[in-house]
Amino acid sequence: MESLLRWGWRTTRVLLYQGVRNLRDGIVSTEAWLAGVRWDGLCAVWRTDVGDLTAYVQWSGSLAHLAVYGAGHLPP
């Protein structure tokens, strides 16, 4: 995976996003698949005005992984 991130992906950005409550394509399997990636970007956490957690994002080069809390299979 890291070789793909270093090789040629600089012109193409990839966003993997999913809801934490996704029962079809769970977030656990995606995070296991991405476990070998050395994330060089910051991990950002998004909260509502009252402080409730809504999402987090981490990235490495052109790859970003976004997890949306409270969302199911179709977070958009």
Residue 9's domain is classified under what CATH number?
A: 3.40.50.11320
**Is residue 37 in a domain?**
yes
Predicted pLDDT of residue 31? 82
Closest CA to 56 of 71, 40, 74, 69: 69
One DSSP character per residue, 10-37 reads TSS-EEEEEETT-SSS-HHHHHHHTTT-
**Is residue 73 in a domain?**
no
Distance CA 60, CA 4 (A): 11
**Is residue 64 in a domain?**
yes
Residue 22 in tokens: 């996704």
Predicted pLDDT of residue 49? 93
**Is residue 19 in a domain?**
yes
Q: How confident is the model at residue 30 (pLDDT cuts 50, 70, 90)?
A: confident
Is 11 a residue whose pLDDT tops 90? no
Q: Which helix (H) or strand (E) holds 46?
A: strand 44-47
Residue 48 in tokens: 């509502």
**Is residue 75 in a domain?**
no
**Is residue 49 in a domain?**
yes
* Residue span of the structural domain in which 63 resides: 2-68
Whether the full predicted model's pTM is greater than 0.85, yes or no, is: no
Is 62 a residue whose pLDDT tops 80? no
